[in-house]
Every structure is written in structure tokens, then in C-alpha cells.
């Protein structure tokens, strides 16, 4: 199940290489995904009847459930940095499922939340979003997602290119930037070497003010009460954790400290 914005492209490519006798159906419009996130999520799903009370799914595992005669796949995933589940359900009847979940969540002190909240939380957890922090032009190695690549597979799209990049080392890498001044970074903002930045790699440091990368995601962190961003930074710049950089925020320089994601410890597992 690909990222929603990427579903048409994935379906097209699978159809193009499908062996004889294999038909690929794009069922994107036939299903919805509802996410139930947070420490109380297992209890919420148990009360609605989608999960056994004693169920203890491993991270990335799933079970199939029946809800009022409808097939629902309950996945132990989530993109908020919290323990959570994603429910894949038929579009037909999804409104009733939403209402049932919302009623139980509200009783337990929770609230409905949209993709804006999910985006803030996943950025705090240092999780990349396809099309911004990961995509055709940003490899898994650059995005710190090499763990998700099946390196032992004999064949997959992009294998040779990724092996070559792993051998040579990526030319850029994703880092976290935590604002030390007032301002909120967004995506596609230039990142510059800051005054007083340190150099730990032994490489020749770029001059202060030199552009060394670009933000891919940025937001205000409600947890940390400051601006945060994910940014692709040139490895040749020798950036390391604790360095001081600056983001161009609408013509103003926002000083930031380099951190290794996540910004907030993840509880997703």
C-alpha cells in the first residue's frame, strides 16, 4: 500500500512489468485508511471490536477483522512516533466506522486530528514523507532509510544505483535542524554554514554563509516549543551533530543546531 500521492505511479509501474497471466488492480478509491494513534489505541480498537483485548501485535504486523460484516485490516503501524494502528477499510461504510471510533476516542479524552497534526508529529519523530524527504530524487541512503532496503535481494528497481551509492557514500544526507532563535522553517529553504560552526570530519569547512543544503520539511514543534526541520545537507560540508547552521526564512537568517533525528523520542515500536 503506497503513499496516497504515489499510488497511481506505483500501480502503473507494477502493471507495466506484471508477468503474463497477472492482472494488477488499483483499488485506491475502494478503500480508506483511518489511523488510531496513542497509548490508548489498543483499548480503543478492542472496545470497537477490531482487536482482541489481549492482542499484542508486533510492530509492522497486521490482523484481519470483521466489523459489521465488513473486512478491515488492522495494521500495527503509524506515522506519529506514538504506538498506533492504521485501519484499511472499504470506502463503503467508512463513515460509520469513523463515528464508532470517534465516540470511543472522545470518551477516553482523545480528539480527531487531521493530516496537519500527523505531519507535525512525524516530523518530531524524524520520519520522512514521500515527495518531500524521500522520493525519486532522494534515495533511501540520503534519507537515512537504508534499513528499509532489501540489500540481499538479487533484483529490484534501482539496485545497482543504490549499491554504487552505498559504496561511494551518499553525496548528501538528511539531518535534523532545531531552531535556537524565533522562526518557523518550511520546506525548500536554503541552509547555510553558520558563524561559529564547528568542523569534526577533517574536511575543509565551507565559509560561513555558504549554502550547504536545503530543508525538505519544516514546522513548529508543539512538544519542543520551537521550529524544527529536516534538511538534506552536503556530506562534503562535514556537518556533524551540534554544529550551528542558518536557514533562510523569507529573507531572514534563522540560527539552528544540527541534531540527529528524531527530535522527540519515538514510541512507535
27: domain CATH number is: 3.30.1360.120
Range of the domain at 152: 146-259
Which CATH number is 152's domain given?
Answer: 2.40.30.110
Q: What was the pLDDT predicted at 84? A: 93
What is residue 207's predicted lDDT score, i.e. its pLDDT? 80
pLDDT for 266: 82
Residues 155 and 235 in one domain: yes
Q: Is the dihedral of CA 153, 150, 201, 208 positive or negative?
A: positive
Q: What is the tally of structural domains in the chain? A: 2
Could you tell me whether strands 226-234 and 172-179 are parallel, antiparallel, or unpaired per DSSP bridges? antiparallel
Q: What is the pLDDT of residue 201?
A: 47
Lookup result for grid cell 488510531: 36
Residues 103 and 150 reside in one and the same domain: no
Edge-to-edge strand order for the sheet containing 70-75? 31-37, 84-90, 70-75, 62-67
What pLDDT, in 10s, does the model give residues 10-66?
999 999 999 999 999 999 899 999 999 999 999 999 999 999 988 889 998 999 999
Give the domain-ending residue among 72, 93, 113.
Answer: 113
At 64-85, the pLDDT tens digits run: 999 999 999 999 988 898 999 9
CB atoms inside a 10 Å sphere around CB 205: 18
Low-confidence ranges of the chain (pLDDT < 70): 195-205
- The C-alpha cell 530524487 sits at 137
What is the percent of the chain where pLDDT is above 90?
Answer: 79
CA distance 141 to 145: 6
Q: Which of 228, 113, 235 is nearest to 171 (CA)?
A: 235
Answer yes or no: do 203 and 101 share one domain. Answer: no
The residue among 92, 114, 38 whose CA lies nearest residue 268 is: 38
Cβ-proximal residues to 243 (8 Å cutoff; 6+ apart), any chain: 194, 197, 198, 199, 257, 258
**In a domain? residue 52:** yes
Amino acid at each position: 500500500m503506497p503513499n496516497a500521492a504515489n499510488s497511481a505511479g506505483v500501480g502503473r509501474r507494477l502493471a507495466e512489468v506484471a508477468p503474463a497471466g497477472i492482472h494488477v488492480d488499483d483499488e485506491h478509491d475502494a478503500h480508506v485508511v483511518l489511523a488510531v494513534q496513542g497509548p490508548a489505541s489498543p483499548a480503543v480498537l478492542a472496545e470497537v471490536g477490531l482487536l482482541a483485548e489481549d492482542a499484542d501485535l508486533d510492530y509492522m504486523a497486521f490482523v484481519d477483522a470483521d466489523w459489521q460484516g465488513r473486512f478491515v485490516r488492522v495494521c500495527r503501524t503509524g506515522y506519529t512516533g506514538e504506538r498506533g494502528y492504521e485501519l484499511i477499510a472499504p470506502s463503503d461504510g467508512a463513515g460509520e466506522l469513523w463515528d464508532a471510533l470517534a465516540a470511543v476516542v472522545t470518551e477516553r479524552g482523545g480528539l480527531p486530528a487531521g493530516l496537519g497534526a500527523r505531519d507535525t508529529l512525524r516530523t518530531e519523530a524524524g520520519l520522512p514523507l514521500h515527495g518531500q524527504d524521500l522520493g525519486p530524487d532522494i534515495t533511501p541512503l540520503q534519507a537515512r532509510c537504508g534499513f528499509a532496503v532489501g540489500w540481499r535481494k538479487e533484483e529490484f528497481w534501482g539496485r545497482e544505483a543504490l549499491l554504487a551509492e552505498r559504496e561511494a557514500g551518499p553525496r548528501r544526507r538528511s539531518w535534523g535542524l532545531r531552531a535556537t532563535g524565533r522562526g518557523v522553517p518550511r520546506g525548500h529553504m536554503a541552509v547555510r554554514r553558520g558563524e561559529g560552526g564547528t568542523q569534526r570530519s577533517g574536511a575543509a569547512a565551507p565559509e560561513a554563509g555558504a549554502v550547504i543544503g536545503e530543508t525538505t520539511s519544516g514546522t513548529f514543534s508543539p512538544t519542543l516549543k520551537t521550529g524544527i526541520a529536516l534538511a538534506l545537507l552536503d556530506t562534503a560540508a562535514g556537518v556533524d551533530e551540534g554544529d550551528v547552521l542558518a536557514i533562510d526564512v523569507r529573507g531572514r537568517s534563522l540560527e539552528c543546531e544540527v541534531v540527529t533525528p528524531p527530535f522527540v523520542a519515538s514510541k512507535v515500536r
